[in-house]
Amino acid sequence: MIEINGLVKTLRGGGHEVEILKSLDLTVPSGQWLAITGASGSGKTTLISLIAGLDTPTRGQIVIDGQDITKLDEDELALLRGKRFGFIFQNFHLIPTLTARENVVLAAELNGTSDATQKADALLHTIGLRDRLHHYPAQLSGGEQQRLSLARAFVNEPNIILADEPTGNLDSKNSDHILELMLELHRVQRATIIMVTHEPRVAASSQRILTLADGQIIADRMNL
């Protein structure tokens, strides 16, 4: 599914260059749930931003299903993101003027998904928001907002889910609930999940744990 070869990301500032990622190689098979861990500044979020085509590498390749996305222009990348990726953010990034249902329906409609409302309702029921369809994000708890973001990410049945600290703003009870829902949606939809987290307990829910330090992979183990 995802092949990364010799990935380098360098930032220039203050008269010198800083290497955020240093010749990184990584292969993520289709359907795998990978957790990326490491200290702040290790390159975790930079890596998933590059995989999503939201940032441009200094050198190297990112190949998704045989297509080198580093060679795509902005329009092609936007189309790729809409068709292939779902995103889950620590801060939710919901549209405050839309209801729970409308947030999910919009994501489906923008991608041209047929039966958008029916698919949105089915997912919202699955994640326990049946009684919150017409509530706005501000009327939802943090755990409910993150559940809503899960529905938005999975509604188009993407091949790849990118999750940046999906439990970072939640207490342990809500965090556990989100992980249970992600496990169930992963089992049903078989998407590849790449999840950034600084919490060992959260990383333990994944199938594989990758640890970064100073822009390099220092550990890569299966979590059986």
Q: What are the structural domain ranges in the chain?
A: 29-57+71-222
- Measured between alpha carbons, how far is 69 from 80 in angstroms, rounded to an integer? 9
pLDDT at 224 over 80: no
pLDDT tens-digit readout, 151-194: 999 998 899 999 999 998 888 888 998 999 889 888 898 999 99
Q: Which two tokens stand for residue 87?
A: 């995103």
Check: CB of residue 187 under 8 Å from CB of residue 179: no
| Residue 105, pLDDT score | 95
- What's the rounded Cα separation, in Å, for the pair 224 and 218? 19
Residue 38 token pair:
């490491």
Q: What is the pTM of this model?
A: 0.90
The class of domain 29-57+71-222 in CATH terms is alpha beta
Among 47-56, 107-116, 156-165, name the one with the lowest average pLDDT: 107-116
| Cα 92 to Cα 163: distance, rounded to the nearest angstrom | 11
What is the pLDDT, as a whole number, of residue 110?
87
Band (pLDDT 50/70/90 cuts) for residue 89 is confident
Q: How many alpha carbons fall within 13 Å on the CB side of residue 100?
A: 27
Does residue 15 carry a pLDDT above 80? no
What mean pLDDT, rounded, does the chain reach? 92
| pLDDT average, residue stretch 57-62 | 96
